[in-house]
Homo-oligomer: A and B are copies of this chain.
């Protein structure tokens, strides 16, 4: 049920948002338990968003599970997906530093098209 809600959304969702839409059916604790289960089983993945207006919240997405980045609009707080990862290969960085990069997380913030024209 939670998985469906996430899969059917074009936006990453946070626990509160999911809970809002199914509060007659599920407890908030159950939502968190479900999200934890889904993430542990790689059905979804999550990232933290540090938003000056809305604070720190974890957002869940099923697309993100296959490496997806988003741009976050600081005005409307919606996410715009990015088709191709803007991060080039890290080979030169790895060679230079000896650090082996396993994961990367990218947060882009700005104003989406609509909000620029307001």
Q: Which residues of A contact B (CB under 8 A)?
A: 47-48, 50, 56, 71, 73-74, 80, 82, 86-88, 90, 93, 97-113, 116
Q: Secondary structure at chain A's binding surface: helix, strand, loop or mixed? A: strand
Number of copies: 2
Measured CB to CB, the closest approach of chain B to A80, in angstroms, equals 5
User: B97 near A86 (CB under 8 angstroms)?
Assistant: no
Measured CB to CB, the closest approach of chain B to A79, in angstroms, equals 10
Measured CB to CB, the closest approach of chain B to A96, in angstroms, equals 8
Q: A110 to chain B: which residues have CB within 8 Å?
A: 99-103
20 sample A-B contacts, Cβ–Cβ < 8 Å, listed by A number: A56-B56, A80-B99, A86-B87, A87-B106, A88-B88, A90-B108, A98-B112, A99-B111, A101-B108, A102-B109, A102-B111, A104-B106, A104-B107, A104-B108, A104-B109, A105-B106, A105-B108, A105-B109, A106-B106, A106-B107
